Amino acid sequence: MSDKVAVPVLLEANELMSIRGERTLFSDLQLRVQAGEIWQIEGPNGAGKSSLLRILAGLLPAQAGSVSFQQQLISEDREAYYQNLLFIGHKAGVKPELTAIENLEFYAAVQGVELKETPYELLAKVGLVGLEDIPAQGLSAGQQRRIALARLWLTQASLWILDEPFTALDVEGIALLHARFAEHLKAGGAIILTSHQELITEFYQVQALRLRYQH
Amino acid sequence: MWRWLHPYAKPEATFALNQKLIPWFAIPGLVLVIVSFVWGLAFAPPDYQQGESYRIIFVHVPSAMWAMGFYVGMAIAGVIALVWQIRTAELAILAIAPVGAVLTFISLFTGAIWGQPMWGTWWVWDARLTAQLILLFLYLGVMALYVAFEDERAGAKAASILAIVGVINIPIIHYSVYWWNTLHQKSTVTRAITRLEAPSIAPEMLWPLLVSILAMLLVCAALVLMRLNNEILRREIHRPWALQHLGISFATTDGEQSGKQENKKDQKGGADAV
Amino acid sequence: MLQANPVSAWKVFKQIIQRDIRVASRQRSDLLNPLIFLLIVVTLFPLGVGPGPDILGRIAPGVIWVSALLSSMLGLERLFRDDFRDGALEQMLLLPVPVEISVFAKIVVHWLLTAVPVLVITPLLALLMNLPIQAWGVLWLTLLLGTPVLSAAGAIGVALTVSLNKGGALLSLLLLPLLIPLLIFATAAVEAAVVGVSPAGPLALIGAFMVLSITLAPFAVKAGLRVSVN
Amino acid sequence: MQFDSWQAFINMGGYGIYVWSSFAGTFLCLGLLALEATWRRSILVREATKQAARAERILRARAAKKQAARKN
């Protein structure tokens, strides 16, 4: 906090290459994400955006290259990395049999976040007031998505990797998310995300990584 | 740098090596097959208990033995594929499994035929046959899992894991099946085959048997190498080296290589920061 | 700077167990169906081979164990399938504890939810099959020691097939051959008890299988899940 | 040589059918494997030849087009 000159590098990817089937998605990809930065991965469908996010999260092995978090290869110390990572993928990980509250409480507990009280207020904030204790399968896709995104308020992870966080959200929800992003970046966190929409916001500067579709 | 060049340099080298090795396995293998079969069929003395029917041993035992051996080989390929992520090892699983399964089938088939004069029935739940039957299921499982995946590399990894789990399990299965067999043993004839394979077997029978075992190994190794090269070729068919190797002329203009699908695996700059 | 609190493995273990029991309690039919299947299959045998108590008692150990194996195949998929569909599996791989811990928790939960009910109805099965009373205890013991093997080995199979659409039949093809030793020693133990011989040998072996499978399976499951989740 | 006559060799002391059918089955299985491998290979070669020829045609057509454009 005292030394503002050297911004710590959170995530660093070197010479990444990914091949799905017979097609090379990308090769020699470099990425350096510093604290306070938000990166948007752009590109057409099938260019490998989701694959890149999954490689960065350590879910998918890269054909070549390395990913390190705070100068430590993620394959060497997964637990330390995952303590500081929040990944919300295409499938959000919300159990449909459980209520919004139960889902959130589970993820808070396994991520080491102490909940002082039942997160009614938070759920109200994300627009789920009155739906807190209905099993998630009774909610709409957008509402289920909101449960997953509510985790953004219940985490101490410094790096967020989010696959299409804005899908199925209304204008209000999007604005809320932007505000939360800004807050996170200000606190020294970093975000990597994919989105179909242009991220236009006055809150922060977006860095872009463009993937081309390769045949 | 080396790490990512490694897997792509590899298939080409393996292919060329296999191409050289195949005749070295196939020709001595075929010669030894003829030698051992003529020796076993015509010159080895008949068994004092089973008469001439015991001669089935010269195909039954080698196939049963290598059915097991190739499974172990497949599991080793699986370990290599998982630990070092070598593509050729993944393809090797696909090359070995059908050969191993056919060997298992041969050992079951010849075992059943042997059973007819021995026990008067085509199938007896004899320990050896039962264990081979389970081995056949294990092979089928590996092959079925491999092809069930849409992404071939995922299929290869899954099959590798299964092969390794299977190879840990094989001794347990064997032990349990033999134990089960002695527990339920009703007739003494079943031990006849086991007796033949004991070290007390007469040298006049043992030598042709050993030769037939070696012959079977060489022939099946040649088959595996042929299949492996086919698998390599199938995946690399559009690359210049493969075409060159097959003697197919292909056009090149300003470094643009022919072939419908250009796998630009070595192309740089798939992504750029804006 | 953001600083995350470390999480203890034990806490994650407990949380997963708690959550899965809660999930299961809201879809009870999933748990009940394999159990009913087991009962029906065991009922079919007397109808198929005749109700003579002698023959029933003789084949009882095998019938009960084979039925238990088959019914366990029915319920195995739920070990990871739902989690795979809704993304909870992915999140499980991203927990800040070794994946083996979470996998072990999943295996334990599966055992609690599927094997314990079987253990409860075992006397009923033994009764239906006319198993001599002196072997009831041993049958129960073999199930107690053997069902963890089913859950652990099953987890490997499910981890490998969970991403496939047609995984169900394949799962049985992969698993049943691997479970043959268990079947052999379990039935042998019960048969020994029926004829009044000490079943200690096969029981000890089943115990060894149990230890072996629950210590090694999490590693294979982890590798399998990594393949399936991508 | 254990057998006095060709006939005796074929007959195998009455077990001829068993012995010879096992050997024949073994040869058949392994032979089929070998045949399948060579057949696969020839298909691969044929496909590769076709593709290479197709690619060459495309290139030639492209070059011709370029030339025509230059003339105009």
Residue A80 touches partner C, C-beta closer than 8 Å:
yes
pLDDT of residue C53: 84
Q: Which residues pair with A198 in a beta bridge?
A: none
pLDDT at B112 over 60: yes
Percentage of residues in chain B having pLDDT higher than 90:
38
Chain D residues near any Cβ of chain B (below 8 Å): 1-3, 9, 12-16, 18-19, 21-23, 25-26, 29-30, 33-34, 37-38, 40-41, 44-45, 47-49, 51-52, 54-56, 59-60, 63
Q: What is the pLDDT of residue D14?
A: 79
Q: Residue D39, Cα to own-chain centre: how many angstroms?
A: 2
Interchain CB contact of B175 with C (< 8 Å): yes
| C3 in any annotated domain | no
Buried b or exposed e, range A83-120, using 16+ CB within 10 angstroms: bbbbbbbebbbbbbbbbbbbbbbbbbbbbbbeeeeebe
Chain D environment of B215 (Cβ under 8 Å): none
pLDDT for C57 equals: 86
Q: How much is the ipTM here?
A: 0.85
**Beta carbons of A67 and A73 less than 8 angstroms apart:** yes
Q: A touches B (3+ CB pairs < 8 Å)? A: yes
Q: Do residues A83 and C8 make contact, with C-beta atoms less than 8 angstroms apart?
A: no
With 70 as the cut, is the pLDDT of residue A69 above it? Answer: yes
Look at residue C189 and tell me if it is in a domain: yes
Residue B238 backbone phi and psi in degrees, to 5: -90, -5
> In whole angstroms, what is the distance from residue A139 CA to residue A99 CA?
10
Q: What is the pLDDT of residue A127?
A: 83
End-to-end CA distance of chain C: 32
> Which has the minimum average pLDDT: A162-171, B98-107, C109-118?
A162-171
Inter-chain contact D30–B226, Cβ cutoff 8 Å?
no
Q: Give the mean model confidence (pLDDT) for residues B49-59.
A: 82
Find all residues with CB under 8 Å of B221, minimum gap 6, and list them: B25, B29
| Number of domains chain B contains | 1
pLDDT band at A47 (very low <50, low <70, confident <90, very high): confident
Residue numbers in chain D where pLDDT is lower than 70: none
- If pLDDT is split at 50, 70 and 90, which confidence band does B246 have? confident
* C213 assigned to some structural domain: yes
pLDDT(B263) > 60: no
- Tokens 């998605």 appear where? A25
pLDDT at residue B245, as a whole number: 78
Closest chain A CA to residue B271: A211
Chains D, C in contact, 3 or more Cβ pairs below 8 Å: no
**C94: burial class by Cβ within 10 Å (0-12, 13-18, 19+)?**
buried
Kindly determine whether residue A209 and residue B274, on different chains, have CB atoms separated by under 8 Å.
yes
What pLDDT band is residue B30 in, cutting at 50, 70 and 90?
very high
What is the model's pLDDT at position B256? Answer: 44
The pLDDT of residue B166 is above 60: yes
Closest CA to C203 of C127, C108, C111, C138: C138
Q: Which residue range(s) make up the domain with C100?
A: 9-228
Search chain B and give the residue with CA nearest D40: B230
Percent of chain B at pLDDT above 70?
A: 81
Residues composing chain C: 230
pLDDT attached to residue B258: 39
pLDDT at A185 over 70: yes
Is there a contact between C224 and B161 if contact means CB atoms under 8 Å apart? yes
Of A23, A61, A211, the CB nearest to B271: A211
Are B144 and C173 in contact (CB < 8 Å)? yes
Residue C4 lies in a domain: no
User: Exposed, middle or buried: residue A3 (CB in 10 Å: 0-12, 13-18, 19+)?
Assistant: exposed
pLDDT in tens, A91-136: 888 999 999 999 999 999 998 888 888 888 888 888 888 888 889 9
Using CA coordinates, name the residue in chain D closest to B60.
D22
Q: Where are the beta strands (DSSP E) in C4-109?
A: none
Min Cα–Cα distance to chain B from C229, Å: 10
CB count within 10 Å of CB B174 equals 18
Distance CA B107, CA B109 (A): 5
Q: For position B85, which CATH number holds? A: 1.20.120
A 196-215 → C contacts, CB under 8 A: none
Instruction: Name chain C contacts of B175, Cβ cutoff 8 Å.
Output: 181
pLDDT value for A122 = 87
Q: Give the domain extent around B130.
A: 12-46+53-241
Q: Across A164-173, B163-172, D3-12, which has the greatest mean pLDDT?
A: B163-172
Residue B62 exposed, middle or buried by CB count within 10 Å (0-12, 13-18, 19+): buried
Mean pLDDT of chain A: 86
Please check whether residue B255 lies inside any domain of the structure: no
d(Cα A128, Cα A135) in Å, to the nearest integer?
12
- Domain presence at residue B260: no
Q: In chain A, what are the domain boundaries? A: 1-84+159-215, 91-156
**Residue B72, Cβ neighbours under 10 Å: how many?**
15
Structure tokens at C46: 């007397």
CB contact (8 A) between residue C170 and residue B165: no
Asked whether A90 and C87 are in contact (CB, 8 A), the reply is yes
Please answer yes or no on whether C95 and A110 come within 8 Å at the CB atom: yes
* pLDDT of C157: 94
Cα diameter, chain D: 90
Counting as contact any 3 or more CB pairs under 8 A, the partners of B are A, C, D
Mean pLDDT: which of A76-85, A163-172, A199-208, B52-61 is highest? A76-85
A 64-123: CB under 8 A from B? 64-65
CB-closest option in A27, A211, A212 to B268: A27
Mean of per-residue pLDDT scores for chain B: 80
Q: Which residues contact A143 (CB under 8 A, 6 or more apart)?
A: A127, A128, A131, A136
Residue B162 confidence (pLDDT) above 90: yes
What pLDDT shows up at residue C12? 92
One pLDDT digit (tens) per residue for chain C, 230 residues = 577 778 889 999 999 999 999 999 988 888 888 899 999 999 999 999 888 888 888 899 999 999 999 999 888 888 999 999 999 999 999 999 999 999 999 999 999 999 999 999 999 999 999 899 999 999 999 999 999 999 999 999 999 999 988 777 899 999 999 999 999 999 999 999 998 889 999 999 999 999 999 999 999 999 999 999 87
Minimal-distance CA residue of chain B relative to A18? B265
Contacts of B263 in chain A (CB under 8 A): 22-24
Which listed CATH number (3.40.50.300, 3.30.450.20, 3.40.630.10, 3.40.1010.20) goes with A1-84+159-215?
Answer: 3.40.50.300
Q: Which residue of C103, C184, C203 to mutate against B (max B Cβ within 10 Å)?
A: C184
H or E element, residue A66? strand A64-69
Per the listing, tokens 């299921």 go with: B137
- Whether residue B144 contacts residue C173, with contact meaning beta carbons closer than 8 Å, is answered with yes
- How many Cβ atoms from other residues are within 10 Å of residue B202's Cβ? 12
Burial call A48-82: b when 16+ CB within 10 Å, e when fewer: bbbbbbbbbbbbbbbbbbebbbbeeebeeebebbb
Does the beta-carbon distance from C15 to A97 stay under 8 Å? no
Sheet holding A72-73, edge to edge: A23-34, A9-20, A64-69, A72-73
* Residue C1 is assigned to a structural domain of this protein: no
Please name the amino acid found at residue B189: V
On chain B, the residues whose CB falls within 8 A of the CB of C224 are: 158, 161
Enumerate the residues of chain A whose CB falls inside 8 A of the CB of residue C6. 83, 112
Q: A141 to each of A87, A165, A169, D50, how far by Cα in Å?
A: 19, 13, 9, 49
CA distances from B172 to B97, C61, C84 (A): 21, 21, 32
Structurally, how many domains does chain C consist of? Answer: 1
Write out the residues of chain B at the interface with chain A, using a CB-CB cutoff of 8 A. 3-4, 7, 85, 151-152, 235, 261-274
Contacts of A85 in chain C (CB under 8 A): 94
Which pLDDT band holds residue B251 (cuts at 50, 70, 90)?
low
A16, B257 Cβ separation under 8 angstroms: no
Sign of the CA dihedral with A73 first, then A78, A81, and A87 last: positive
Q: How far is CA A91 from CA A64, A165, B94, in A?
A: 26, 11, 32
What mean pLDDT comes out for the span B111-137?
A: 86
